[in-house]
Amino acid sequence: MEPQAKQGTSTENDAQQGALEPKSSPSSPRNVADFYRVKPVLDRRIHILGIGSVGRFIAHSLRGIPNPPPITLLFHRPRMLKLWDEASQELRIITDGSSEKRGGFDVELAFARPRFHGHEIPLQDDFSDPSAQRPSESKDASPQLSEGESTEPINTLIVCTKMPHVLSALSSVRHRLHPESVILFMQNGMGIVEKVNKEIFPDPETRPHYMLGINSHGMNVNPDDPFSATHAGFGTISLGLMPHERDQKPAPYAPGLQFKPGGSNTEPIATDAAHAPDPYPGLKSPGPPGFRWTPYNRYLLRTLLRTPVLCATAFSPPDLLQLQLEKLAVNCIVNPLTVLLDARNGTILYNYYLTRTMRLLLSEISLVIRNLPELQYIPNVQQRFDPGRLETMVVGVAHKTRDNISSMLADVRAGRQSEIDYINGWIVKRGEMMGVRCVMNYMLLQIVKGKAGMIQWEIGEDVPFVEGKPGEDGVQIRGEPSSN
């Protein structure tokens, strides 16, 4: 497949698009045909990685707008590609019982590269043939590709995989992403950008641009159809562009900066208690954000904003961070408690024992959030993340989604890895960095992991019954000789 051959062209006359243009010489041709021949047009193709319910919903929605962008769905497994080829090659979204099919998607294979302790691990494609190597990272960073995998550049990527699988999924397309690409992360929980920077794009010079999205649409998958999803709850998508480290300029008048007479010119000293020397050297102090529009982050944002069914809105990075933290506080309560109780979201309401539990957890969550150094220069953070306000939010969401199975409960029941490390685990980790010991969140984290492990064991240990053949009585245990 040659995705580039299928790409559309943009008619947007975007001044920023000039960033992609080669420098024109005074003798550059001026007539229209030559202009289009010389000027590379913006690549409108959007790639989607992670074709679960949210990936299907976004892909389907984008294909429904006037002048839709070309969309490439990236499948991890050849089996999915085969199922797609055998099916109608359409995505179906069911809303209020009415189903709408849309086609016109391109598909590609991008094998997820499993990772272990921060490194890709080579796996065999075919376990019966140990000589057949799965793609893996090689020392010279030029990836080994499997048959069917593309090397075409990806300019615009939306990552909809669940949090625990983002790194292995992104590893499969790392060789196709470049410093001007934009990646939109659509995960629940916190901390993905830091992980991706550490493990996938450690060098800021070659790192793509990032956007973050918070989804509140309720989506359900249909177990018997891998290419459909049910739009169960109408929500919104909040979007924000992340400032890039390459664009950060040193802030000469950052609050609290002074220079010692005769001392090092770059070493800050404290001017007052509120602006004491940075206790978190890894975290940036809020200098001018140094934000830069690029052709692809502008294009992706515009395209998502003009897709009505997504109800997408754009926010500044500090506003988006606060929205993420509000969602985190809700998820820190609803998700693990519904796992422990093995019950729907509404169960945590009108039960004073559970209200007490919620309040104890929220006191730690609120303390951590209100002391995050990245929020210290934002007004009203103390009120916005007050435990009482957070409790009202949790109760509101639990009530609104009272008949839903939380995403964490669904993952744990199915024996999948949950997102708890990026939810309560993130609170515990950030608390540790600030000297706040979040013992209740820590305990909840351990119990949820314990319960998930228990269910994974049970699934693994399942006695594999096979149905009796016609005429045989009862069931037979696989591998055991038949009793009759």
Q: Interface residues with ligand PAF (CB under 6 A)? A: 188, 330-331, 334-335, 345, 397, 401, 404, 406-407
Q: For ligand PAF, which is the closer residue by CB, 134 or 400?
A: 400
Q: Name the token pair of 304.
A: 């998502």
Shortest reach from residue 402's CB to ligand PAF, in Å? 9
Q: For ligand PAF, which is the closer residue by CB, 304 or 397?
A: 397
Q: For ligand PAF, which is the closer residue by CB, 405 or 436?
A: 405
Shortest reach from residue 311's CB to ligand PAF, in Å? 16
Which residues contact residue 200 at a Cβ distance below 8 angstroms, ignoring those fewer than 6 apart? 167, 170, 171, 174
Q: For ligand PAF, which is the closer residue by CB, 45 or 327?
A: 327
- If DSSP codes are grouped into helix, strand and coil, which group holds residue 238? strand
Shortest reach from residue 345's CB to ligand PAF, in Å? 5
Shortest reach from residue 348's CB to ligand PAF, in Å? 10
Q: For ligand PAF, which is the closer residue by CB, 73 or 362?
A: 362
Q: For ligand PAF, which is the closer residue by CB, 71 or 394?
A: 394
Shortest reach from residue 405's CB to ligand PAF, in Å? 8
DSSP 43: B
Shortest reach from residue 233's CB to ligand PAF, in Å? 8
CA dist., res. 324 & res. 337, Å (int) = 20
**How many Å is the maximal CA-CA distance in the chain?**
96
Question: With the C-alpha atoms ordered 400, 402, 404, 405, is the resulting torsion angle positive or negative?
Answer: positive
Q: For ligand PAF, which is the closer residue by CB, 198 or 402?
A: 402
Q: Name the token pair of 390.
A: 């957070």
Residue nearest to ligand PAF (CB): 407
Beta bridge pairs of residue 182: 156, 209
Q: For ligand PAF, which is the closer residue by CB, 172 or 338?
A: 338
Q: For ligand PAF, which is the closer residue by CB, 71 or 330?
A: 330
CA dist., res. 242 & res. 183, Å (int) = 10
Shortest reach from residue 372's CB to ligand PAF, in Å? 21
Shortest reach from residue 327's CB to ligand PAF, in Å? 7
Helices (H), 306-406: 317-341, 352-370, 381-384, 387-400
Q: For ligand PAF, which is the closer residue by CB, 285 or 357?
A: 357
Q: What are phi and psi of 36, to 5 degrees?
A: -70, -30
Q: For ligand PAF, which is the closer residue by CB, 155 or 406?
A: 406
Q: For ligand PAF, which is the closer residue by CB, 299 or 385?
A: 385
Shortest reach from residue 394's CB to ligand PAF, in Å? 9
CA dist., res. 308 & res. 54, Å (int) = 16
Determine the straight-line distance between the first and last CA of the chain, rounded to whole angstroms: 54
Residue closest to 18 by CA, chosen among 46, 41, 44? 41
> 424-434 and 352-370 are packed helices; what angle lies between their axes, rounded to 10 degrees?
50
Question: Angle 153-154-160 (CA atoms, 0-180°, nearest 5)?
Answer: 155
Which residues contact residue 292 at a Cβ distance below 8 angstroms, ignoring those fewer than 6 apart? 244, 247
Shortest reach from residue 447's CB to ligand PAF, in Å? 17
Distances (CA, A) of 368 to 170, 224, 374, 431, 477: 30, 42, 12, 6, 52
Are 320 and 185 within 8 A, CB to CB? no
Q: For ligand PAF, which is the closer residue by CB, 396 or 468?
A: 396
DSSP, residue by residue, 133-145: BPP---TTSPPP-
Shortest reach from residue 340's CB to ligand PAF, in Å? 14
CA dist., res. 375 & res. 377, Å (int) = 6
Helices (H), 372-438: 381-384, 387-400, 407-413, 424-434
CA dist., res. 366 & res. 390, Å (int) = 8
Shortest reach from residue 275's CB to ligand PAF, in Å? 36
Distances (CA, A) of 336 to 144, 235, 443: 39, 22, 11
Shortest reach from residue 384's CB to ligand PAF, in Å? 18
